[in-house]
Amino acid sequence: MRNDHLNVAVRLLTAFLVISLSTVVAVVLLRHHPTLVTTAVWVRTPLVAASAAVLLLFARRAAAGHRGSFRRLRVISMVVLAAIIVVVAWPGAFPVWLRVEQAGCGLLMLGVVVHVNRRAARSRTADPRPKATRWP
């Protein structure tokens, strides 16, 4: 069973992955500027790119009808969004340019979280087994 409602999440996560990989490239290019590329930036950017790749994999599998991937997508996307909010809100921990980039990624992740938690997306990946009836 294919879930076409998740195609928007796949597109948002594709954009998230492209931005994250571009940020990693920018970090490598700016490596000689210690005020722009701190140790925290070196650690954060590859982790964000890896999480974007994993989320995109889950979204594609969920769109193909895999319920386990859909559940993972829902949970991990909320965790990633929360981590992005912390990065953007934590003054002084990261350079301003990275906080701005993360704010853009946060908007994409917010769209993913909202979209995968919509009733239409959830109902298409619902468990096809009949639910046990409750006694009155």
Give me the DSSP letters along 10-61. Answer: HHHHHHHHHHHHHHHHHHHHTTT-TTTS-HHHHHHHHHHHHHHHHHHHHHHH
25 vs 130 pLDDT, higher one: 25
pLDDT at 93: 85
Is a pLDDT exceeding 70 seen at residue 136?
no
Q: How far apart are the first and last CA of the chain?
A: 33
92-126 pLDDT, tens digit per residue, is 889 999 999 999 999 999 999 999 998 766 555 54
- Check residue 126 and give left, alpha or beta (phi > 0: left; psi -120 to 50: alpha): beta
30-75 pLDDT, tens digit per residue, is 999 998 999 999 999 999 999 999 999 999 999 998 999 999 999 9
Tokens of 24: 């990693």
Is a pLDDT exceeding 60 seen at residue 127?
no
Nearest to 72 by CA among 100, 102, 101, 112: 112
Residues written for the chain:
136
Q: Which amino acid is at 23?
A: T
Cβ atoms of 13 and 56 closer than 8 Å: yes
pLDDT at 22: 97
Is a pLDDT exceeding 70 seen at residue 128?
no
Q: Give the mean pLDDT of 10-21.
A: 97
**Residue 132 pLDDT class (50, 70, 90 cuts):** low
